[in-house]
Homo-oligomer: A and B are copies of this chain.
Amino acid sequence: MISQLIQKIQKTKAPICVGLDPMLGYIPNHIVQRAFKDFGETMEGAAEAVWQFNKEIIDNTYDLIPSVKPQIAMYEQFGIEGLKIYARTIEYCQNKGLLVIGDVKRGDIGSTSSAYAVGHIGSVKVGSNECRGFNTDFITVNPYLGTDGIKPFVNVCNDEDRGLFVLVKTSNPSSGEFQDRLVDGRPLYELVAEKVVEWGEASMDGDYSNVGAVVGATYPEMSKILRKLMPKTYFLVPGYGAQGGTAKDLMHCFNEDGLGAVVNSSRGIIAAYKQEKYAKFGPEHFAEASRQAVVDMIADINSVL
């Protein structure tokens, strides 16, 4: 699966994914009001607004990008109706030729991780049928429970040619509270990184492993070290743009071949029309603002590679 992502990145010259994290507050009023008119001020109405918003952004950006990363929490907040739109968004993106990274950050004891794995990147046996739940190409997972909480995801990846990104060093301000604590003189995230390498050894797909890592753009010195520790691990890099990471900050996430990282931007793309820089598009043309923000992001990142 990672080789497919790399091919799409090379074809588009865009090592990025667009974060489809649609807070209601990001969605232009005309879309929200139309959805409320059709479905009421209900979960169904909110979900419809999210769907119309996503669809327009995808339609206006899919030819420029290799992948998207929907954050499931933004759908889950609207309950079942929201999750239906999560599933619909995945399918719609895949039909447009995009790879989908489900940002689900799941992780549990072994038998439970197995259930998450089959539901998100695999299939579940129902009688004599194999049924697919959310059918994403990649998901993010949380390593706090250790190897037996991660292995079931790796097994499904190997069986189904899918991919993972394991949280190593996250982009948020307090990520250091536990992740940076020194164990035998080294930060915990380095130990996690070494485990990620180990977990991914039997999942090579070309030059990289299907088991990747989440490494925040907001901590450039750390990503430099992590890049060396995990030479064959693809990085999913959140934190660019709205969270404060710049192109210069994330250059260390890439290998010398210009590969090795896919950089996410969510708010910076999907709510671009709210920025002064893109205000000329106006709320009616929000998706064209998103398209321009994608073009600008790609140029910005390529300027440091």
Residues in chain A within 8 A of chain B (CB atoms): 21, 23-24, 32, 36, 41-43, 45-46, 71, 73-74, 76-80, 82-84, 87, 105-113, 115-116, 118-120, 124-129, 131-134, 142-149, 167, 170-179, 181-184, 188, 191-192, 195, 238, 243
Q: In whole angstroms, how far apart are the Cα atoms of A6 and B71 in the complex?
A: 35
Write out the residue numbers on chain B whose beta carbons fall within 8 Å of the beta carbon of A118: 77
| Known A79-B134, A80-B84, A112-B71: A45·B126 in contact at CB below 8 Å | yes
User: Residue on B with the closest CB to A177?
Assistant: B146
> Which among A87, A119, A132 has the highest number of chain B CB atoms within 10 Å?
A119
Query: Are B144 and A179 within 8 A (Cβ)?
Result: yes
CB of A152, distance to nearest CB on chain B (Å): 10
- Known pairs A42-B129, A73-B115; A178 contacts B191 (CB<8 A): yes
Number of copies of this kind of chain in the complex? 2
List B contacts of A113 (CB < 8 A): 73
Cα of A243 to Cα of B192 in the assembled complex, Å: 25
For the complex, give the distance between the alpha carbons of A39 and B265 in Å: 41
Complex contact A148–B126 (CB within 8 A) = no
- The reply to whether A106 and B174 form a contact with Cβ atoms under 8 Å apart is no
Complexed CA–CA distance, A212 and B112 (Å): 21
User: In the complex the two chains form, is B143's CB within 8 Å of A172's CB?
Assistant: no
Closest partner residue, chain B, to A125 (CB atom):
B24
Across the interface, which residues of B come within 8 angstroms of A108, CB to CB? 71, 73, 105
Asked if residues B149 and A178 are in contact (CB atoms below 8 Å), the reply is no
Report the separation of the CA atoms of residues A261 and B200 in the bound assembly, to the nearest whole angstrom: 38
For A73, list chain B residues within 8 Å (CB). 106, 108, 112-113, 115-116, 119
Question: Can you give 17 contacting A-B residue pairs, CB < 8 Å?
Answer: A73-B113, A73-B119, A76-B115, A76-B116, A77-B119, A79-B87, A80-B133, A83-B83, A105-B142, A109-B243, A142-B142, A143-B178, A146-B177, A146-B179, A149-B174, A178-B192, A181-B188
Q: Are the CB atoms of B181 and A133 closer together than 8 Å?
A: no
B contact residues around A175 at 8 Å (CB): 145-146
A129 and B178 contacting across the interface, CB-CB below 8 Å: no
Contact A119 B192 (CB under 8 A): no
- Closest Cβ of chain B to A54, distance in Å, is 15
Instruction: Determine the chain B residues whose CB is within 8 A of the CB of A116 once the complex forms.
Output: 73, 76-77
Say yes or no: A77 contacts B181, CB within 8 Å.
no
Distance in angstroms between the alpha carbons of A279 and B167 in the assembled complex: 44
**10 cross-chain pairs, A with B, having the tightest CB-CB distances, nearest first:** A41-B127, A79-B133, A146-B177, A146-B174, A77-B119, A73-B115, A109-B172, A77-B115, A181-B183, A148-B174
